[in-house]
Amino acid sequence: MILGRGRKGTASGLAGRATLDSLLRRAAEIRPTARALSDAPNRPHLIGGEPRQLSWGELDGLVDALAGRLRDMGLPTDAVVATQFPLSSDAIISVLALLRAGLVAAPIPLGWGRRETTAHLQRIGARAILTAGRAGPVDCADMMRFAAAETFSVRFVLSLGGPALDGVIPLDDVLANPAPAERVEVARPDNPADHVAVVTADAVADGHIAVPRSHNELIAGGLAAFMAGVPDEHSVFAATLAPDCFAGLALQVVPWLMSGGTLVAHPPLALRIVVDRLAPDGATHAVLPAAAAAAVVSAPLAQRPSLRHLALFSRRPVEPQAFAEAVAEGLAVDVFLGIGETAVARALKDGAGAIMLGPDTHTSGGQSPVLIESRVGPEGRLELRGAMVPRAAFPPGAENGVPPFWSVDGDGFRDTGLPAAADKARKTVSIGSREPGVVSIGGRRFAESAIRAAYVEAGGEIAPVIRPDALLGDRVSGVVGDGRAIAGLAGRLLETGVTPLAIPGGTRQAGQLPFEDTRPREPEPILDPLGDAHSALAQLLSVARAAAGY
């Protein structure tokens, strides 16, 4: 499936023929016994199953085996398969297997509930779902089977890990007991690298949209990170970003495939494990959210003896002075701004989080192709184009329907909606911290109107308030007047499919609520130990009398 062919201003920025699958094939042929992919040791606690240690040859064989099983199920070429995984070897094998089978991978963010998932499955016309059994306390496959029941196009729900569930086909045998697999080859017309590889989800003020990317566009995004970190076949990546967005693929998976090194997949929720494993794994490169960078930067050199490059991902401008001490110690630090699903832009180290105005000569090396080019539009908003920026809507023909959908202008520029100001003398663009109408919570983007509508639908006792948060980006707060309204609203929000606290599947743990009580705290009552002891003694005497027949 090639999108945007023949449109003005849509010529591909990269003219290569390499696909992500061909990068895997090349590494497996050159270094079949070298270590390629490892799971972090805390995988059994968060996902289940033993951590995998795979060579390039073993990884290539597992990808062939899973791709062959998918083809045997009758999924046609270019069928869209939704995936939902925390970062793990399962996630990477699944995406690579889908691409080898000639299918289109559509990652579903872990922070989504059934409401968002079902709407997106219908939007992209997914033919199947391939998901993890569980991620932390949440049964992903269980949530996905109910979302699939509401989506007419979905034929199969497939899982790796987790318990056996009605309506879910387990594929654990493919990876647990791999037999010698036949080499899977899918013929692609024209340039295979121009075909759609991945469809991610982005949010605009009107709701979520589907964002398609070809192999060339993915590789262009990865090339920006590759040129910043300059990895080689001896490099070891400590990867932590979720594989369900463009940044998660471009900043860690693509550079790893291009270099032929080793990737250590760290599932979320365990930053301490990431820091503790830097030395034992021999990590030379680390990819982290910018909010978690302090743990690595402040770690003594003995805990990161081989680390030479830190790639930080942020949705908001970051002050480069925060990492000045680490840079002075010889650690190279690059901050990449995630501008929705449009692009990842390298922040200038002396520009307080600004990016380069016009073509970014750092990421392009001063030569074509231009990976990313910026300008400020007439309405004061950031506009981007370049080899990594998608040029067409998905599914094909969506631009002829009702918005929202992905769109670019006649020159190939995408209006990101972010307020921006250009400094032509310094050739920099300063970017605002928030796109109007869009809320980013824990890296997950939602339309603000959808969040407010969910609260209204749930009863409206609590009016949501969007507040900035240093770690999450934004958070939803509210003033409550009656404690009974808290439990009632929480239950009804679950029924609507909204995910409390970004826990996938709408699972609410004990004591956690999807909003913040901002009332002044009442003073705690003074404890009366003597009174409590007297009450407990009276209860025991009552039980004793009853037992004795008094």
- Helices 114-124/140-149 angle, 10° precision: 50
Percent of the chain surpassing pLDDT 90:
49
Residue 440 binned pLDDT confidence (cut-offs 50, 70, 90): confident
pLDDT digit string, tens, across residues 190-248: 889 999 999 999 998 888 999 999 999 999 999 999 999 999 999 999 999 999 999 99
pLDDT digit string, tens, across residues 270-320: 788 999 999 999 999 999 998 888 888 888 888 999 999 999 998 888 876
pLDDT at position 183, please? 85
Which one of 165, 190, 215 terminates a domain?
190
Spatial distance between the Cα atoms of 126 and 101, rounded to a whole number of angstroms? 15
Same domain, 121 and 243: no
pLDDT digit string, tens, across residues 254-274: 999 999 999 999 987 678 899
Same domain, 344 and 482: no
Average pLDDT, the chain: 82
Between 362 and 408, whose confidence is greater? 408
Residue 278 counted as domain residue: yes
CATH code of residue 450: 3.30.300
Number of domains in the chain: 3
Instruction: Determine the residue type at 190.
Output: D
> Please, what's the b/e burial string for 14-23 (b: 16 or more CB within 10 A of its CB; e: otherwise)?
beeebbbbbb
pLDDT at position 98, please? 96
Same domain, 69 and 140: yes
Percent of the chain surpassing pLDDT 70:
80
Same domain, 228 and 326: yes
Same domain, 31 and 159: yes
Residue 534 counted as domain residue: no
Q: What is the mean pLDDT of residues 494-523?
A: 42
Same domain, 290 and 420: yes
Residue 522 binned pLDDT confidence (cut-offs 50, 70, 90): low
pLDDT digit string, tens, across residues 387-431: 999 999 998 888 888 889 999 998 999 999 999 999 888 899 998
- Helices 215-229/20-30 angle, 10° precision: 50
CATH code of residue 72: 3.40.50.980
Name, in order, each residue with C-beta under 8 angstroms of 264's C-beta and a sequence gap of 6 or more: 38, 39, 40, 236, 237, 238, 239, 277, 281, 283
pLDDT at position 349, please? 80
Which one of 170, 190, 210 terminates a domain?
190
- Sheet strands (E) in 260-405: 262-265, 285-289, 309-314, 332-339, 343-346, 355-356, 358-359, 373-376, 381-385
pLDDT at position 6, please? 43
Same domain, 182 and 204: no
Residue 371 counted as domain residue: yes
Which SS3 state, helix, strand or coil, does residue 11 take? coil
Same domain, 231 and 307: yes
Residue 526 counted as domain residue: no
Same domain, 141 and 59: yes
**Distance, CA of 376 to chain centre:** 27
Same domain, 212 and 339: yes
Is residue 369 over pLDDT 90? no
CB count within 10 Å of CB 351 equals 17
Residue 325 binned pLDDT confidence (cut-offs 50, 70, 90): confident
Note the pTM of the prediction, 2 decimals.
0.85
Contact 106, 122 (CB under 8 A): no
Spatial distance between the Cα atoms of 470 and 268, rounded to a whole number of angstroms? 18
Same domain, 475 and 340: no
pLDDT digit string, tens, across residues 53-63: 999 999 999 99
Between 65 and 320, whose confidence is greater? 65
β 473-477/465-469 pair status: antiparallel
Residue 495 counted as domain residue: yes
DSSP of 413-453 = -EEEEEEEEEETTTTEEEE-S--TTEEEETTEEEEHHHHHH
pLDDT at position 496, please? 54
Same domain, 94 and 185: yes
Residue 7 counted as domain residue: no
CA atoms within 13 A on the CB side of 375: 11
For 544, the token pair is: 């004793």
Expressed as residue numbers, the domain containing 216 is 194-435
Residue 491 counted as domain residue: yes
pLDDT at position 1, please? 82
pLDDT at position 528, please? 52
Residue 494 binned pLDDT confidence (cut-offs 50, 70, 90): low
CATH code of residue 353: 3.40.50.12780
Residue 454 counted as domain residue: yes
Residue 491 binned pLDDT confidence (cut-offs 50, 70, 90): low
DSSP of 241-300 = S-TTSHHHIIIIIHHHHHHT-EEEE--SS-HHHHHHHHHHHT-SEEEEEGGGHHHHHTS-
